[in-house]
Amino acid sequence: METEKNIILVVDDDKTNLTLAQNILLPHYRIAASNSGRAALKYLENHRPDLILLDINMPEMDGFEVMGQIRQREETKTIPVIFLTADNLAETEIKCFQMGAMDYVTKPFVPDILLSRVDKTIELDQYRHNLEKMVRQQAEKITEDARRISAIQDSVIIGMANLIESRDGSTGRHVKNTQNYVQLIADELRARGLFAGVLTDDYIENLCKAAPLHDVGKIKVPDAILQKPGRLTPEEYDTMKLHTTYSGRIIQMILGDLEDKTYVKMAEDIAMYHHERWDGSGYPTGLAGEDIPLSARIMAVADVFDALYEERVYKPPVRPIERIMQIMSEGRGSQFDPTIIDVFMEMLPKLKEHLGIA
């Protein structure tokens, strides 16, 4: 039995653009078309499309006004939106993301680009729906605390890691790598008697289970930024930095109802604060020193090491590993907790063994 096609609402006052979008998308999707913002809002009173392609520059009511009303309505606020614009100004791009758009496409349309952006947005939105449904169903069925925490946690970690990996292949590997490095660092700190009373068995177990969620907010960062091969502009970097705040919100949404508040708080701390710096110059809140949660300080070291060691879309890997350690040592007391980075520097033989380096 053939699966029913998703519905896309295309909103544009230009008849040529409406026709072009329909010709590109009709072989793959069902299309509803509106030639004004008011007509689109009227359509949405009785229909819920899977995606809205929304032109910005329209008479009477522009795309930003329409988007504002879409987000205010309970029945439409979660529908993903891709803005359509002939404006290449950075200010316009920033406003698109600030308004809550999943992406934007410039006009005139390039068929392959439009179709690719639409396909990926619908796929990610469906994945989120399925994941949230799965978590809700499990939460309703599991009554025993230990079983519920284990089942939901495992499902969320695997689901979120796979979702991130679908956006950026290197990030999926990064999730697994950083979990291993966090374990190595925490075990070494405890073996040396550091942070005694904090690094208990339960703490380290929670730390390692929470670590894969540290970048989950990147699912809300547009592909155009996440997969950019070159240096980000200041505006793009500001958008990228929002992934920490997004991560905290997503973790609260998915895990907030768990009775194990210690685990939830650790997952949130790691996600929110692993880009804070020891000297207070990090983001998103500018925490400094021991005000930064220990879990996030450990995560910061693991995160930066893997970012340097592995290839990224925007850079080659740093080699040899001794060069990485030199670079990271320069962040002692500025970027990293001095105690943690000192121990990490002395872990070079263990890291080489873990990575299979002779």
Q: CA 27, CA 13: separation in Å to the nearest integer?
A: 23
The pLDDT, as a whole number, for residue 2 is 55
The pLDDT, as a whole number, for residue 239 is 92
Average pLDDT over residues 336-341: 98
- Is 136 inside a domain boundary? no
* CATH code, domain carrying 337: 1.10.3210.10
* CATH code, domain carrying 38: 3.40.50.2300
Pair (96, 162) in one structural domain: no
Q: CA 320, CA 343: separation in Å to the nearest integer?
A: 19
Q: What one-letter code names the amino acid at 182?
A: V
Question: Helix H segments across 109-228?
Answer: 111-141, 145-167, 169-191, 201-210, 223-226
Pair (20, 116) in one structural domain: yes
pLDDT, tens digit, 9 for 90 and up, residues 204-258: 999 998 898 888 888 888 888 887 888 889 999 999 999 999 989 988 887 777 7
Pair (47, 153) in one structural domain: no
Of 87, 310, 123, 102, which Cα lies nearest the Cα of 223? 102
**Prediction pTM value:** 0.59
Task: Please state, in angstroms and as integers, the Cα–Cα distance from residue 268 to each residue in 130, 214, 295, following that order.
Answer: 22, 8, 10
Q: How many domains does the chain have?
A: 2
Range of the domain at 87: 7-122
Task: Please state, in angstroms and as integers, the Cα–Cα distance from residue 180 to each residue in 209, 341, 354, following that order.
Answer: 10, 17, 9
- Is 50 inside a domain boundary? yes
Q: How many CA atoms lie within 13 A of 44 on its CB side?
A: 29
